[in-house]
Structure 1
């Protein structure tokens, strides 16, 4: 027996009209995330498939529907706002271009669309397993990956240039007179194919410093991406083990969470930023400008990354009113920029 809106209403307590508008992502319908989750979960659990579907009823004035798949859960995004900002910029760009976004959810290791409207393309934020990518392909063949590039022969992708970003950070610190430059971040992570690889920013750091004859293993600290407290504890222990004259005079952090943990550790040792130690971070979200001191940061231009992803997915969308502009995939590598703030200063002015 087909599951109806009335049955969903009895299960959730929401009216059939509300449920219909939520499942069809009515842009004029504003509901809380808890309400949306309850309705989506009930629809998935009961196997609701909708009616004949909005896709069959689209008119010549209908807009494009863009699905958004996210690697991180909402709770994980709160500890690492990088991906949250990417999603927000996608939604902002779609709103400006009158495109409708459709949330996709990870259920049992697969990406699923619980809306009856269907989508004209998908933007996948982050890294996804082969199984998850296959499930995305069942939703749409028009997929743009944002911040990863699992298969350049099949999918569009937008990625930051971490190598150039690390070079900018290290070149800048050396221009200030720093040579004892440390790094904080994970040694390994999963790449686009879920293989364990050396984290790119750390890989580029080590290559640069070895080429310059400046690499010092004691200045490299392996820390997780999203644990300020652990960064603070580990860095405090490491710095205590080094003589004041042999400590790094500058540190590069893999992201803002790590940079904030770094600041806490330095302060716990009565070290001043930037007088004693300069700090450079990656990502340059709003967090970089509101911490004290404000962080010198490598900006991957998250807004432009998101806008480019929307542009790519639009170019390959096919609807009754929109023909694809191209049929081959593109990979766009975004060059970052160095944003100088008050967490760095010349080494000559440091109290070493």
Structure 2
């Protein structure tokens, strides 16, 4: 069966661009030539678009129109794109039609825009009170990858707390004590306001906790930017130029880690002989880096599928009790990590 990745490869664009063109994202800025090329490949490979219909399914269940609210730029970090692909893969099965894809800071969030939606799936850190100021029609909201203070909504999370603890213990067991952290700065974003509230990332919190427990904590070993490759590259150059001399780096995302490893390579610092790198996400390219990247596998597509199931349950039942689903993670050990040399 043809996938969006197949189309992206043949059209020589990113999977994110293919998805946004197919779904008619009005905020996407690409040339008419690129759009035409993508749609020609869609026809050539006989890709089946999600059905946009109303009425009854074979089980006499009315198709529901839902919206996706995306808080982060998928072109910088494919993490949220992968979650969205998981959502899209099961919507038809659960009689849902994605009729709106809204990006924080780019889309028009108004009551009129959202009033026709039966429910929302929110990706990432969004000020929920701000969202409900314009989406006040119901509480059919599922939040993915963010735990709001309000205990009202269904939530889907990955177990970053356990994962980060396991990464730290693994590095400790290999003899590493000078461990740096390179991560993204989290922010909770407003929908209709320009309000941005800083938040602590769980990976950073657990890193700090584990280092303090061992008496190894050094605030200068923590560098923060965004979750993209360029940020990882620049932060690593900053780390190299500092007085900190780590034997291992924990990186908050694989795209950041790609930039980290590029900066280390340019500086002549060998991975893993001189420094180990452990990351999070397990994106497709992680296994093909040189050396291959040790990382935490986050089941992003399953997060998307789970969000659809929770929303379906909300729409088809009288359940009021909010559910929190925490998906497990896996350590994927590859070549970028080694025992500390004496």
TM-score (norm 2): 0.74
Q: How does 1:85-234 map to 2 (within 5 A)?
A: 85-97=82-94, 99-106=96-103, 110=109, 118-129=116-127, 130-138=129-137, 140-186=138-184, 189-190=187-188, 195-226=197-228, 228-234=229-235
Q: Distance in 2 between matches of 1:291 and 1:199?
A: 26
- Unaligned stretches of 5+ residues in structure 2: 1-17, 28-52
Cα RMSD (Å): 3.3
Q: Which has the larger radius of gyration?
A: 1
User: 2:329 maps to which residue?
Assistant: 336
CA contact (8 A) 1:105 1:112 kept: no
CA contact (8 A) 1:65 1:120 kept: yes
In structure 2, relative to structure 1, the CA distance for the partners of 1:314 and 1:187 (3 Å cut) is closer
Q: Distance in 2 between matches of 1:316 and 1:187?
A: 32
In structure 2, relative to structure 1, the CA distance for the partners of 1:111 and 1:278 (3 Å cut) is farther
Q: Would you say 1:273 and 2:304 are equivalent positions? A: no
User: 1:310 maps to which residue?
Assistant: 308
CA contact (8 A) 1:137 1:143 kept: no
Q: Distance in 2 between matches of 1:330 and 1:67?
A: 19
More displaced, 127-136 or 83-92? 127-136
Q: Would you say 1:80 and 2:77 are equivalent positions? A: yes
Q: Distance in 2 between matches of 1:172 and 1:287?
A: 23
1:221-272 Cα shifts (integer Å, max 9, x gaps): 223222x334323322432333xxx621110001112111110111111111
Q: Distance in 1 between matches of 2:313 and 2:152?
A: 15
Q: Distance in 2 between matches of 1:81 and 1:32?
A: 13
Q: Distance in 2 between matches of 1:190 and 1:333?
A: 20
In structure 2, relative to structure 1, the CA distance for the partners of 1:181 and 1:306 (3 Å cut) is same
Number of residue equivalences: 293
Q: Distance in 1 between matches of 2:25 and 2:285?
A: 28
CA contact (8 A) 1:110 1:131 kept: no
- Unaligned stretches of 5+ residues in structure 1: 1-29, 40-53, 319-323
CA contact (8 A) 2:279 2:296 kept: yes
In structure 2, relative to structure 1, the CA distance for the partners of 1:31 and 1:83 (3 Å cut) is closer
1:300-333 Cα shifts (integer Å, max 9, x gaps): 3212222221111111113xxxxx0623111122
In structure 2, relative to structure 1, the CA distance for the partners of 1:134 and 1:288 (3 Å cut) is farther
Residue 173 of structure 1, CA deviation: 0.9
Q: Distance in 2 between matches of 1:62 and 1:88?
A: 23
CA contact (8 A) 1:104 1:113 kept: no
CA contact (8 A) 1:315 1:326 kept: yes
In structure 2, relative to structure 1, the CA distance for the partners of 1:35 and 1:201 (3 Å cut) is closer
TM-score (norm 1): 0.72
Residue 61 of structure 1, CA deviation: 2.6
